[in-house]
């Protein structure tokens, strides 16, 4: 879209040990030309934010299947705000109840991708977030499905 490589960190916060989806998306993003940093299983929000800052990523993608999405994502958001970082978008993949989606939206999560979302949809959304400034808590162009 604008010639630069998008950098995304894929994180698995909490105790969730299911990483097949995260690895699948990481590979699809890499194949699409993104630079992908995968932090592995059982990461704390502090580890994820530290890695995101160290790697100068554009997007943090969190894969959560454990049901702990609200406290984990809240912590990531607060850590970024505490470091005065406002230019990293957050997207979430996993099984996220509809009631939690509104909470995540208010926290500033740019997009939520549930089961059945194609990698093509995720790739296109990330490009829009990075190159057009969609996301970061805005209501324009969000993906909640």
Where does residue 8 fall: left (phi above 0), alpha (psi -120 to 50 degrees), or beta otherwise?
Answer: beta
Band of residue 135 on the pLDDT scale cut at 50, 70, 90: low
Answer yes or no: is pLDDT of 145 > 50: no
**Residue 35 pLDDT greater than 70, yes or no:** yes
Find the distance separating the first CA and the last CA of the chain, reported in whole Å: 24
Phi, psi of 62 (to 5 degrees): -110, 130
Residue 138 has pLDDT above 60, yes or no: no
Q: What percent of the chain has pLDDT over 90?
A: 78
Q: Which domains does the chain have, with CATH numbers?
A: 7-144 (3.40.50.280)
Q: 3-class DSSP state for residue 119?
A: helix
CA distance 116 to 9: 21
Q: Match 């984990």 to its residue by tokens.
A: 72
Q: Is residue 69 within 8 Å of 97, Cβ to Cβ?
A: no
To the nearest whole percent, how much of the chain has pLDDT over 70?
Answer: 90
Of 131 and 2, the one with more pLDDT: 131
For residue 52, is it left (φ>0), alpha (ψ between -120 and 50) or beta?
alpha
| 58-97 per-position pLDDT tens digit | 999 999 988 889 999 999 999 999 999 999 999 999 989 9
Q: What is the overall mean pLDDT for the chain?
A: 90
pLDDT in tens, 102-121: 999 999 999 999 999 999 99
């Amino acid at each position: 879209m604008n010639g630069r490589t998008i950098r995304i960190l894929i994180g698995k916060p909490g105790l969730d040990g299911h990483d097949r989806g995260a690895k699948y998306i990481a590979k699809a993003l890499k194949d699409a030309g993104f630079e992908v940093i995968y932090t592995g299983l059982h990461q704390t929000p502090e580890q994820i934010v530290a890695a995101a800052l160290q790697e100068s990523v554009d997007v943090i993608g969190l894969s959560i299947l454990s049901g702990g999405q609200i406290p984990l994502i809240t912590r990531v958001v607060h850590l970024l705000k505490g470091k005065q970082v406002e230019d990293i978008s957050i997207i979430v993949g996993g099984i996220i109840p509809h009631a939690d989606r509104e909470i995540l939206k208010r926290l500033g999560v740019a997009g939520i991708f549930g089961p059945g979302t194609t990698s093509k949809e995720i790739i296109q959304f990330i490009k829009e977030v990075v190159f057009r400034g969609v996301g970061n808590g805005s209501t324009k162009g969000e993906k909640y499905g």
